[in-house]
Every structure is written in C-alpha cells, then in structure tokens.
Amino acid sequence: IEKLYRVDVRDYPEIAVREALLNLLVHRDYSFSASAFISIYADRIEFVSIGGLLPMLEVKSGTPFTTISKKKISDEEEKILEYTRIHGVITKNNAMELLEVSASTASRVIRKMVKNNLLKQNGKARNTHYTIADK
C-alpha cells in the first residue's frame, strides 16, 4: 500500500441524482396524501412519485418514473479501478501486466476511462500515469 487515504468513487453522477430528487419533489401532486419512493437496485435508482398524471399529459407522453442507470463498465475497467484504488496510480505498463493485454489494448481501455471521467491523466509521454478522476 502506497497511500493511506480513501478515494470515493460515486456510482451515479451527483448532479443527476440531485436533479431526479428535485423533480420528484417539485412535480409531485400535493393535492392528496401519497408517498414518493426512491428505490435503489444493483444497477439503477428509481424515483417514483405516485399521484397520477397532470391533466395536460397522457400515458403515451411518458411515465411518472425517473430512472438513473449505472454506467456499465467492463471487467477490464473494474480491474484497473481496483488497482488504482489500492496503489493510488496506474501506468499503461501496469495495465498491460494486470490485464495481460498488448500496449494498444491497454491504451484503448485507459483512453476510454479518461474520456468517461473514471481516470485522470497526469504527466506526458514516459511520465504518464493515471489516478482516479475527481467527480
């Protein structure tokens, strides 16, 4: 273990959860007593507001459910994240060894993770290493 601090990685974007919760409360029908529900599953969170549709809406316009799905990450990405959580950083060579893949495959996986804001690139060329991205 190189570092002794905790790195929090959220499963869902904080802004999306906040928006869904706000919509649940703001667009709720308060004219009668009904509960709003937030259900957390392994792959999603559902925000449900019981109370029916507003007069101007029809069933075909949508449903009263707001669902936020977890971004699916590959087994390779999960291994890289776990390694980075434990060691604090990962390099392309670490990823090649960890995943038992070629340099181009390791680079492709890491680039995708940087693009999806899972990893943050630090340094350039031979000094490039990656850390868990701040969310």
Q: Are residues 24 and 54 in the same domain?
A: yes
Q: Are residues 24 and 48 in the same domain?
A: yes
Q: Are residues 44 and 65 in the same domain?
A: yes
Quote the pTM value: 0.50
Let me know if residue 114 belongs to a domain. Answer: yes
Q: Residue 60: its pLDDT value, please?
A: 53
Q: Residue 90: its pLDDT value, please?
A: 96
Q: Residue 1: its pLDDT value, please?
A: 45
Q: Are residues 81 and 122 in the same domain?
A: yes
85 φ/ψ angles, rounded to the nearest 5 degrees: -60, -40
Q: Residue 35: its pLDDT value, please?
A: 78
Task: Determine contact, residues 123/132, Cβ cutoff 8 Å.
Answer: no
Let me know if residue 3 belongs to a domain. Answer: no
Range of the domain at 88: 75-132
Spell out the alpha helix ranges (H) of 36-115. 75-87, 92-99, 103-115
Q: At what angle do helices 75-87 and 92-99 cross, to 10 degrees?
A: 120
Number of structural domains in the chain = 2
Let me know if residue 23 belongs to a domain. Answer: yes
Residue segments in the chain with a per-residue pLDDT below the cut of 50? 1
The closest alpha carbon to 120, from 94, 86, 81, belongs to 81
